[in-house]
Structure 1
């Protein structure tokens, strides 16, 4: 499986996260219903993707070149 697992207060337990997440925080403040694959939300997702890519480009983020530093062991665990 691919995605990101986040550590929580329970050591050794990880939540598998989907590769993309999009939530309507007004209608779903608990972030239960992921709208990333909803066709009605594709324009929003595309707009956010473009904004993120623009920011990463302007900031010369190393993720764009494939050179990503060793992860912080306290942060997300890539799986």
Structure 2
């Protein structure tokens, strides 16, 4: 296995520390974003080329327009 490299000229220095990360499922992200007021939530996984590796989770959500707000999507008319 190759070791990680840094773009910094000196490479990695200092103590190695664990990184905490959150790995929510597609369904969890969907629910979290809807709960916080987002609309049109889409979450999907793009499979990795090697089936033994994890895929990439892509999540997209939109903020709902408010009544009367101008939108470029509808030709600048008020919604």
Higher relative contact order (CA 8 A, sep 6+): 1
> What is the TM-score when the length of structure 1 is the normalising length?
0.23
Q: Which has the higher helix share?
A: 1
Quick check: which has more Rg, 1 or 2? 2
More strand by share: 2
